Amino acid sequence: MISFNQASVVAHDGATILHPVSLRLTEQRISVIGANGSGKSTLARLINGLVEPSSGSVTVHTGTGTGTDAGTGTGLDTVADGAAVRRAVGFVFTDPSAQLIMPTVIEDVELSLRREHRDAGARRAAALAALDRFGLAGFAERSVHALSGGQQQLLAIATVLATEPRILITDEPTTLLDLRNTGIIGDLLLSLPQQVVIVTHNLELAARADRTLVVSDGRIAFDGEPAAAVAHYRERVAAQ
């Protein structure tokens, strides 16, 4: 579960990016839609501490029994328990090149596993298993820059999921992809055992979630059943 308690974000110049939000996100598949600059990416980045609330709080209830989450039901605070939150909540960016930083495919996954596997042999084996899971084992020694856009996004997801986070946040994961790879990535995200939050402009993908949030001008404009949320968003766009 993800809890927002009157969480807001105010820029250094005093502009409000996200007005106070209170939410309890318990569904396994949650989509977030809205126009560019609406605040939806800021909302998503609050969940793993990439952005800290200016007021209020965000907590992640992982059920792992660690940190302040241990037996208290209070969850991990994204500010006070930042390191633990980032281990529990994986984040996939719009552009995979923002997080693929090693020369080869296998090295990139190994880098993400350096904390979980101190032994180099165990780390290599775990990285290969992660690549095999996503059909990328045959590209292990290839340069990350030689992969197609869809393969790079798959690798970015594999790199994050290799650490077995409890929650996965994806910020417009299909924006740079063609129709075929959009379908592949969408199907993958919706099949994962993790709780998944998908920020997206792809309304077809958004409609396949269990719950959809519509963000507008830094506020939650609609929160509910995906088809109704998408219809609400289309009406707002048409009215502008």
What digits encode the pLDDT tens for the residues 178-205? 999 999 999 999 999 999 999 999 999 9
In the predicted model, is pLDDT for residue 117 greater than 90?
no
Query: In this predicted model, which residue has the larger pLDDT, 99 or 71?
Result: 99
Q: What is the mean pLDDT of residues 148-177?
A: 94
Q: Which pLDDT value is given to residue 16?
A: 97
* Mean of pLDDT over the chain: 92
- Tokens coding 81: 């328990």
Answering whether pTM is above 0.85, one says yes
Q: Is the pLDDT of residue 69 over 70?
A: no
Domains and CATH numbers, the chain: 2-239 (3.40.50.300)
Alpha carbon distance 68, 151 (integer Å):
38
Query: CB-based contacts of 226: which residues, under 8 Å, 6+ apart?
Result: 31, 206, 207, 208, 209, 210, 211, 212
Digit-coded pLDDT (tens) for 16-42: 999 999 999 999 999 999 999 999 999
Q: Which residues of 198-213 are buried (b: 16+ CB within 10 A; e: fewer)?
A: bbbebbebbbbbbbbb
Return the closest-CA partner of residue 1 out of 57, 60, 43: 60
Q: How far is CA 238 from CA 70, 121, 212, 214, in A?
A: 47, 56, 19, 15
Q: Per-residue pLDDT tens for 131-148?
A: 999 999 999 999 999 999
The pLDDT, as a whole number, for residue 73 is 54
Tokens of 103: 């020369």
Contact status, residue 108 vs residue 127, Cβ threshold 8 Å: no
Cα dist. 232→1, 53, 215 in Å?
25, 27, 11
What is the predicted pLDDT for the residue at 108? 94
